[in-house]
Amino acid sequence: MFVRGIRGATTVERNEENDILTATTELLNQIIAENGIIPEEIASVFVTVTPDLTATFPARAIRQMQGWDLVPLMCSLEIPVEGGLPRCIRLMVMVNTDKQQNEIIHVYQREAMRLRPDLSKLTKA
C-alpha cells in the first residue's frame, strides 16, 4: 500500500460562501468518483485558496460530507504569485491505495483546467 497524492483545483466566479462550498464539494466528489476512493482510505486533505477567497473555509464543505467528519483537513493560503489564477481552490487529497502513480486521476475543473492542461485531458466530463 502507498500514500498517493491526488491533485484537484477549481475556480469560483464570486467570493461568496455558497459558491466556495459548492465548488469544493463538486471538486472532491469528482476526485472520489474518478479514483474510486472512500473516506476511510484518506490520510488527509490539504486545501488552499487564493487570497481573494475570504467568504468561508472550503474545508467546511468537506466536513459536512457523509463519512468525512474524521478525515484530517487543513486550509491554507496559496502563494500570491503575480498573474496567478484568481478565485482558485486547490485540493491535495492524500490517499492510502494500491494504485500506481500513473493510475491516479487528478481533477481540474472550470478555469483551473489551465493550471495543468496535460492532466485536465485525462479528466472525465
Active-site residue list: 7, 63, 75, 78, 90, 108, 116
List the grid coordinates of 83: 498573474
**Exposed, middle or buried: residue 67 (CB in 10 Å: 0-12, 13-18, 19+)?**
exposed
The distance in angstroms from the start CA to the end CA of the chain is 29
Closest among 72, 61, 86, 77 to 3, alpha carbons compared:
72
List the grid coordinates of 113: 483546467
Rounded Cα distance between 87 and 6, Å, is 20
103 SS3 class: helix
